[in-house]
Structure 1
Amino acid sequence: MDARTQAFGGPALIDGFGRTVTYLRVSVTDRCDLRCVYCMAEHMTFLPKKEVLTLEELDRIASAFVGLGVRKLRITGGEPLVRKGVMDLIGSLGRHLRSGALDELTLTTNGTRLTEFADQLAAAGVRRVNVSLDTLKPELFRTLTRGGQLAQVIAGIDAAQAAGLKVKINAVALKDDNAGELPELIAWAHGRGCDMTLIEAMPLGEIEVDRTDQFLSLKDVRRELESFWTLTDIDHQTGGPARYVRVAETGGRLGFITPLSHNFCEACNRVRLTCTGTLHTCLGREDASDLRAVIRAGASDADLVDAIRLAVDAKPQGHDFQIARAAAPAVARHMSTTGG
């Protein structure tokens, strides 16, 4: 792994609408050991190895972004911890924390492999992880993930907390599956000292079901929660799109990510790099810049920087998400391909 800490001069990464990009989400694989019904088709065709960036290529591109002023890197997938050698990449990227060039290196995971990797993540400089968990009911968990074991994820959360990692629980709100369970899930997370974030189902990829049957507006969820809890808006930021409240009765923080009922585009500071080297500057648009082609053509660091700046400058003002019966997804790519 190249041990350089690249530092590029010049202006920060600012898009055509004046938003400064300081947050890069890096997908290291499109593969996952679960098949969540809102994320993937049951029988997925995964990418051939030759199309996926090597760990060294992922490091080079991510490090170029750090050199251009990105302060937060989030490692995603698919499930990032199924990627062979991923801890070599995470350990290498940790050098930017030690140099002060990076504020935070984080991970989004389904939790199934945290028992194996939690201590290594902490040693690499990771201080917090997001764990996707939509239910505390073993049978429903098995259904939603098409075969997953809830106990395995709970054990992973235990391991992460034992390693000193701060854990945030992410749950997708699903009208006919977990809507009635959300208060229990929130209280459980807060009882463990974990922040909780609720996410609206997003129209990404063909998944064999109609998302209008799944979609639950978080405006409605908040209204329901406020019928028995006291929610107070707070100015808490993690670098992502969630708007947070404090729940007086549990003492915990609760975030709402609302790409459909209340979009967050005006303050978007994020871009996403897929495991194939495609840079998406908007989650909800079919925009794409092929950075794999740039580096595999023998690009210099300056060439790579130019390609990144050109892509960020064209970042769209907002996404095209909408949920409508029989409507095609806003974008054809799956969330597992896009990267968390």
Structure 2
Amino acid sequence: MLQDNFGRRFHYLRLSITEVCNFRCTYCLPEGYQCDGDRDFLSLEEITHLVQAFAALGTSKIRLTGGEPSLRKDLSQIIERCAATDGIRQVALTTNGFKLPQMIDSWIDAGLTRLNVSLDSLDPRQFQAITGHDKLSTVLSGIDKALSRRISVKVNSVLLKPYSEGMLNQALSWLKDNPVTLRLIELMQTGDNQAFFNANHLSGQPIKNRLLAEGWIPVVRDRTAGPAQEFSHPGYAGRIGLIMPYSRNFCTSCNRLRVSAKGNLHLCLFADKGLPLKHLLSQGQGDALQARLRSLLADKQASHWLDKGYTGATQQLAMLGG
């Protein structure tokens, strides 16, 4: 089992498979994806060896992220390789939903067990203003199709000052009959968004207070769950989660590690650098890779220090999938 010096165990790997994204979200890539270097992203075989090494060290959940992972033509094969790895019990995907209606069946057939969809507004005009695309109906259609296949679906929405009150009110109505978990995520400062962050950051605490006042009940976290504080209500088919990275003790329950699309281990979303693994991702180097992972865990810090304005090497969230 991978464990750091603070006793935290890591069952969960967030694996980016591309830095490319076709959306222009205001809080992440407002000018769109800018290719400022090579696109030497991990190959299918390198991903296979990486996942096998993590699984041998106790990882049971893989989340495929980006950028936008559906832009990889071999995504179904990547899902299939992850799902076929001994020890991996959950294969999840985070997507903007652009290709969801036409691709969700093939992803589920390949072994996908969980789906997260980025959806920052349920209002078509606001959705387009945030993402740069008039695709809300496409994304919602894909979510409906995923639910019809009885796969676990979560919806990620970043809290933004101009939109979030309306989003919450619309979402409460939507969650009455839709068995999804809406996760409201505090906007995080990155290397290139300080002015935007200062103008748009909202705390999730007032929303938590409202939920509790309206009869929502905290849900006990599973060991492989992410950092969301989840709430359920007997009158709603869906749930609401809050991800509040600026709250006290947020990092004490950390259970995930991150690997970038270029094969660098990031001990935290806001670590000061990525630690290269790609040179160990060829066949026959599994033992050396496992030893390297154990060694690198000694450098994991107790906290991300976001509350002090430290953003590390993360220039924008598409680098590591958030």
Superposed pair shares fold, TM > 0.5: yes
1:315 aligned onto 2:296: no
Superposed CA deviations along residues 156-215 of structure 1, whole A, max 9, x for unmatched, are 112212233221111111112222331321331342111221110011241484202111
For structure 2, the residue ranges without an aligned partner over 5 or more in a row are none
Q: AA paired with 1:72? A: K
The percentage of counterpart residues that share the same residue type is 33
What is the aligned partner in structure 1 of residue 319 from structure 2? 337
Contact 2:20–2:33 (Cα < 8 Å) also in 1? no
- 1:1-340 matched pairs, under 5 angstroms: 12-46=1-35, 48-96=37-85, 99=86, 101-207=87-193, 209-227=195-213, 229-237=214-222, 239-295=225-281, 300-322=285-307, 329=311, 331-340=313-322
Contact 1:128–1:167 (Cα < 8 Å) also in 2? yes
Distance 1:202 1:283, change over 3 A: same
Q: Please state how far the C-alpha of 1:36 moved relative to its aligned partner.
A: 0.9
In structure 1, distance between residues paired with 2:207 and 2:188: 16
Query: What is the DSSP-based 3-state SS (H/G/I as helix, E as strand, rest coil) of the residue aligned with 2:306?
Result: coil
The two structures, once aligned, show a CA RMSD in angstroms of 2.2
Q: Please state how far the C-alpha of 1:48 moved relative to its aligned partner.
A: 4.7
What is the aligned partner in structure 2 of residue 7 from structure 1? none
Q: TM-score if structure 2 supplies the norm length?
A: 0.92
Contact 1:272–1:339 (Cα < 8 Å) also in 2? no
Contact 1:285–1:320 (Cα < 8 Å) also in 2? no
Query: What is the DSSP-based 3-state SS (H/G/I as helix, E as strand, rest coil) of the residue aligned with 1:333?
Result: coil
Distance 1:262 1:309, change over 3 A: same
Superposed CA deviations along residues 289-322 of structure 1, whole A, max 9, x for unmatched, are 11124447x8722221121111222211111113
In structure 1, distance between residues paired with 2:227 and 2:194: 28
In structure 2, distance between residues paired with 1:43 and 1:94: 32
In structure 1, distance between residues paired with 2:209 and 2:15: 34
- Mean alpha-carbon deviation: is it higher for 281-290 or for 244-253? 244-253
- Mean alpha-carbon deviation: is it higher for 132-141 or for 44-53? 44-53
Query: What is the DSSP-based 3-state SS (H/G/I as helix, E as strand, rest coil) of the residue aligned with 1:91?
Result: helix
For structure 1, the residue ranges without an aligned partner over 5 or more in a row are 1-11
Q: TM-score if structure 1 supplies the norm length?
A: 0.87
Q: Please state how far the C-alpha of 1:243 moved relative to its aligned partner.
A: 1.2
Contact 2:147–2:153 (Cα < 8 Å) also in 1? yes
Q: Please state how far the C-alpha of 1:240 moved relative to its aligned partner.
A: 0.7
